[in-house]
Amino acid sequence: MKWKKPLRLKRTERFKKNDLELDERTREKLKKQLRHLMSDPRHPSLQVKKIKGTRSIFEAWVNDFYRFTFEFGEGHEIILRVVGPHNSALKLSELS
């Protein structure tokens, strides 16, 4: 299901810092996945799922090894929280 109005992305400071630490290939894949997220949060390649034990934080795939976490803000906004290796990204999201 595509959204009629594209979603806007808001990056937390932690997400920005994590993004800078990614290698170029992973960063390019992340950009592609974020485009999917903005147009269709249910895009199959994202494999979005709610993080257990949280009220409204979701994880999505960058690739086999990296994940990013996000939550829906007000209106058409998605707040990007953390990006990194699978287990690290999930742990950091649960703590903040």
Per-residue pLDDT reduced to its tens digit, 2-37:
556 778 999 999 999 999 999 999 999 999 999 999
Please provide residue 43's backbone torsions phi and psi, each rounded to the nearest 5 degrees: -55, 135
Give me the CATH topology for the region 8-95: YaeB-like fold (3.30.2310)
Sheet containing 58-61: which strands, arranged edge to edge? 8-11, 77-85, 66-72, 58-61, 49-50
Domain residue ranges of the chain, discontinuous segments joined by +: 8-95
Structure tokens at 21: 């630490």
pLDDT tens digits, residue range 32-91? 999 999 988 999 999 999 998 888 999 999 999 999 999 999 888 999 999 999 776 666
